[in-house]
Amino acid sequence: MLLAVGTELTTGSTRDTNSGDLAKELTDNGVRVIRTIALPDDLDSVTTEFTRALADADLVVSTGGLGPTPDDLTREAIAATCGVEPFVDPGTTAWLRGLFERRGMEMPDANRKQAWLIEGATFLTNKRGSAPGWLIDRPTGKVIVALPGPPKEMWPMWRDEALPRLKEHRLGVARVARTLRLSGIGESAIVDVLGEEVLRQPFPIVATYARADAVDLVVSAESDDQPTAQAAVDETVDKLRALVGQFVFAEGNESWADALAKRLDGRSLAVVEIGSGGQLQALVGNADYLSFGELVRSPADVTRAATQLSEYAERVRELAGVDVGLALYSRETKGDTHVRVAIATGADTYEEQRIAFLGGDEGQRRAVLAACSVLWGWLDPTKS
């Protein structure tokens, strides 16, 4: 369970990025995160949630509330939850004094609370700040990890101090996951194709996630035996590919830029965009294969492109001296976006039309994804 402590989080002054990032890291290590909660700097609230968390979870990880000011109450809350009194640790005090002495300063009395420890707690070094962390082994076998809130302090402490210690006690179970990235099909349509029973099966778990650039179909399994989990995931992925393989353009963390790079296979690309605001170039702009990009804005050119899109694709190909030219034309019509894509190679041209759901910026974004999908499909080596 993850607890993020700080009134700045509950008022919206600061976004809690720690919990999401830690949840992913724990999940990748085979730990099932049951809840994430943001809490204000209130001793009763924080103590109550630590007590509930220890009742429900084997591992509780908190971030924030380890500073020297009166509103930093995580240590007090943990001590109250465990029913023990904190004491000032001489070694931690010496470490803190050393931090200030190196700066030619005397340590303020307020920082003494950062040298507190409780029975069963291990001091976690902060390499980026003055707020040490705690790792507490409870007599029940449960564990509390208290980390500072600033990410630049939290991450080194988590990865260098806390996580290695947790792994010594066999953190989590073996977890295997594979992700199929789909384009041209929505989540509801995927349910119709796969059937609800597939998406409700307990092992391995099959879930869909709508991302900005695709719908991800994630297959995951947890087991005490890693080969068992791997075999179950691989078998299910093979079955899913048989059902939705035509929509799968990538796997894992691959992006559209990565998928197109594989299909282009060393060929270079130039693009011209009409009505999509440069979003196609933004999506694949860092790719080595994109040699040239152009935006068409003048009314005369926009009108001409509507009837001569293939010529625009060939023109940009010749202008850039590349292997493949692509022209994208998008125009909002009756609340949705009309999309046309032309591809030119010098030897021939190809055009395709699609309708992207919604208009405005969202329509432009979907038009760009449609253009990527058209190019990806046209580059399919099995069709040549």
What is the mean pLDDT of the segment spanning 150-169? 94
Q: Is 339 within 8 Å of 328 (Cβ atoms)?
A: yes
Give CA–CA dist 125/304, Å, rounded.
Answer: 65
Do 2-168 and 174-251 come out as alike in CATH topology? Answer: no
> DSSP 3-state assignment of 13?
coil
**Could you report the per-residue pLDDT of 273-323, keeping only the tens digit for each?**
999 999 999 999 889 999 999 998 887 888 888 789 999 999 999 999 999
CA 9/CA 13 separation, integer angstroms: 6
Q: pLDDT (tens digit, 9 = 90+) per residue, 12-36?
A: 999 999 999 999 999 989 899 999 9
Percent helix, strand, coil in the chain (nearest 5)?
Answer: 45, 25, 30
CATH of domain 2-168: 3.40.980.10
User: pLDDT digits over 337-366, tens only?
Assistant: 999 999 999 999 999 999 998 899 999 999
Evaluate if residue 126 carries a pLDDT over 80: yes
Please state, in angstroms and rounded to a whole number, the distance separating the CA atoms of residues 199 and 243: 14
Residue type, 237: V
pLDDT greater than 90 at residue 65 = yes
Beta carbons within 8 Å of 265's beta carbon, 6+ residues apart: none
Q: Identify whether the C-beta of residue 357 lies closer than 8 Å to the C-beta of residue 330.
A: no
C-alpha span between 191 and 215 (Å, rounded): 12
User: What is d(CA 193, CA 188) in angstroms, rounded to the nearest whole number?
Assistant: 9
The fold for domain 174-251 equals Alpha-Beta Plaits (3.30.70)
What pLDDT was estimated at residue 27?
Answer: 92
Close Cβ partners of 294 (under 8 Å, ≥ 6 residues apart): 270, 271, 272, 273, 316, 319
Query: So where are the chain's domains?
Result: 2-168, 174-251, 263-383
- The residue to which tokens 């449960």 are assigned: 142
Angle at 169 between CA 163 and CA 170, to 5 degrees: 85
CB 31 within 8 A of CB 86: no
Long-range own/partner contacts, residues 14-17 (CB < 8 A, 24 or more apart): 17/151
The token duo for 326 is: 């692509």
Per-residue pLDDT at 384: 58
Q: Is there a contact between 310 and 344 (Cβ–Cβ < 8 Å)?
A: yes
Residue 171: is its pLDDT beyond 90? no
Residue 217 contacts residue 182 (beta carbons within 8 Å): yes
pLDDT of residue 130: 85
| 343 within 8 A of 325, measured Cβ to Cβ | yes
Residue type, 196: E
Q: Could you tell me where the DSSP H helices lie in the chain?
A: 7-10, 18-28, 43-56, 74-82, 90-101, 151-157, 163-168, 187-194, 196-200, 226-244, 256-264, 279-284, 299-307, 309-320, 360-378
Q: What value does the mean pLDDT of the chain take?
A: 93
Q: Could you tell me the strand order of the sheet in which 205-210 lies?
A: 205-210, 215-223, 174-182, 248-251
Examine the pLDDT at 185 and tell me if it is beyond 70. Answer: yes
CB-based burial label for 64 (10 Å; 0-12, 13-18, 19+): buried
CATH topology of domain 263-383: Maf protein (3.90.950)
Distance separating alpha carbons of residues 98 and 333, to the nearest angstrom: 67
